[in-house]
Amino acid sequence: MRAPQHNLGVLGGMGPLATAEFLRSLAVSAPAATDQQHPRVLLLSEPTIPDRTEAVLTGDDAPLPALERGLLTLAGWGADLLAVPCNTAHVYLDRLRGRLPVPVVDIVDATLRESMRVSPAGGWLAASSGTVASGLYQRRAKALGYRVLVPDGVRRDAIHTAAVQVKANQAAEAGDTLREAVRSLWQRARLPVIGACTELPLAYAAADLPPAMMVSSLDALAQACVRRLYGATPPLWVGAPYGEVGEAA
């Protein structure tokens, strides 16, 4: 096994703990037997990027310039491929496609394709309030012909709270919050939870719920990066037309 010839640039810090877990997942996903066979990773952890959910909910583009600066910095450092382990940030990334010299691995596409693989019947969307409100996953799932159920307002708020608790290093509290919300969702439909916020796989682990019932966007992104670095992968960007945002019946 040879090391990849391309450098992966990671724009992290959204949040820092999720970025660290992404790097761990990337390392364990790589088909490497020695240090020298792992990919070279250029990391820019930038926690000062404005809150993505707040920006989406208020119609503000504040994160966009910071995201662009960070990705261009990584490309300038020598990154041939880019990854952003933050789902809500991807609300803005489509607008940067023509302004970046290297491609970005799409966390939404990677996560939905993994969910389609493990649960063809569909999954529950567990995401930040900003990601849900943007319709990013709902539109992409519709374009792929995949069933995604959106929790109601109370459970949606609880899921967002769990993500915020992870950011505050309150893992036990996050686990308690997410466990209650997920068990309530499973009373309606016993489908895997799509962890479409990079803090939620960490909250799910703390909740002591069945590992097979979580599709981690962190793991999906890491595996998509590995496929891209070591071999073939599906397209990085999905250009299918988007549908309408909807709730589960």
Cα separation, 64 vs 51, whole angstroms: 11
Q: What is the pLDDT of residue 208?
A: 95
Work out the percent of the chain whose per-residue pLDDT is above 90.
90
Kindly list the structural domains of the chain, giving each domain's residue range(s) and its CATH number in brackets, ordered by start: 8-106+219-230 (3.40.50.1860), 108-218 (3.40.50.1860)
Query: 76-110, pLDDT tens digit by residue?
Result: 999 999 999 999 999 999 899 889 999 999 999 99
Cα separation, 59 vs 45, whole angstroms: 25
Residue 247 pLDDT exceeds 70: no
Cα separation, 137 vs 112, whole angstroms: 8
Secondary structure of residue 208 in the 3-state scheme: coil
DSSP one-letter string for 24-46:
HHHHHHS--SSGGGSPPEEEEE-
Query: 161-183, pLDDT tens digit by residue?
Result: 999 999 999 999 999 999 999 99
Q: Which of 5-14, 61-70, 126-135, 240-249 has the lowest mean pLDDT?
A: 240-249
